[in-house]
Amino acid sequence: MISTPALMETQYRLAQHYLNKLRMADEAIHRGPANVSYGLAVFDQEWEQIRHWQTWTVQRDPDDRTRAQLCKAFPLAGTQVLPNRNTMSDHAVWLEAALQAARQLHDLETEHILCNDLVTTYYRLGVLDKVRDFASQLLKLGEATHDPLATGHGYHGLGIFADERGRYAEAKQHYQRALEIFTELGLDAEMRRQLHGLAGVAYYLGDYQETYHYLAHHLEVIEGSGSKAEYCTALLLIGKILVSLKDHTEAETYLEHGMSLSRALGFQ
């Protein structure tokens, strides 16, 4: 008869084995289109076991650090592949379980990552109170640990919440604070998100001149480090807002450039 310690050791190894299977499938998808079919095939073959052992990691004693380490790792190991099969609601459950594990382990870096992922996930689900709650937790974490990245993500999440609630003055304040932090950190992708949010707020308020200001700054940042698709979209957005400003000559310049580049790159 298998002893309890031996049984536990076997369970730990099985959970680690299927965590590795999830990671393998995810890495295959991350490597590009040629590997997507292989990654999804591995994932589909092992999905029931992956799900079983992720659930097993959640059902742990408070002092079971090994199981907590595994629980924390599951959603982070499948960032590419899980959205293809796991529902958004189920993924939120995995993330919240992993967050509890990270806090059990006093892993502040992973706590930051998971809170930020939960802000994004609950925004996509339209659960705005959860967006606010996890953004507030991020802000509190960032301020307590003097981590500007977590603080910036907290302000961004609060900006999203206020924006969606129609509290535009509050949203603008949060986006601007996040923009200041990310500008100081030199994080172009994060800067673009704040500028896009600020442009949206200005547009909702009917301030087309301010919308243009933010979109122009957004375009400058994209030129330095953004994708070509994002650059094309930014050109077309500026053209649209210039039409609202009745600057049709300048609008035509941006729109023609955007369409010409889109055609050259094969963007439909």
Determine the residue type at 133.
D
Give dist(CA 119, CA 193) in Å, integer: 14
Give dist(CA 189, CA 86) in Å, integer: 27
Q: What is the pLDDT of residues 35-70, one digit of tens each?
A: 888 888 989 999 999 999 999 999 988 899 999 999
Quote the tokens at residue 192.
Answer: 């673009």
Q: What's residue 2's pLDDT?
A: 53
Q: What percent of the chain has pLDDT over 90?
A: 80
Q: What percent of the chain has pLDDT over 70?
A: 99
Answer yes or no: is pLDDT of 225 > 90: no
Q: List the single range of 183-187, 229-233, 247-251 with lowest mean pLDDT.
A: 229-233
With beta carbons less than 8 A apart as the criterion, state whether 28 and 39 touch: yes
3-class secondary-structure state, position 165? coil
Determine the residue type at 11.
Q
Quote the tokens at residue 174.
Answer: 């949060």
Mean pLDDT computed over 106-118:
97
3-class secondary-structure state, position 194? helix
Answer yes or no: is pLDDT of 1 > 50: no
Q: What's residue 3's pLDDT?
A: 52
Q: What is the pLDDT of residues 118-136, one digit of tens each?
A: 999 999 999 999 999 999 9
Residue in this structure with the two tokens 């040629």, named with its chain if needed: 34
Q: What is the pLDDT of residues 168-211, one digit of tens each?
A: 999 999 999 999 999 999 999 999 999 999 999 999 999 999 99
Give dist(CA 29, CA 263) in Å, integer: 28
Answer yes or no: is pLDDT of 267 > 90: no
Give dist(CA 241, CA 258) in Å, integer: 14
Residue 131's CB: how many other CB atoms inside 10 A?
25
Give dist(CA 61, CA 225) in Å, integer: 46
- C-alpha dist (Å) from residue 217 to 130, 133, 200, 210, 261: 31, 30, 13, 11, 20
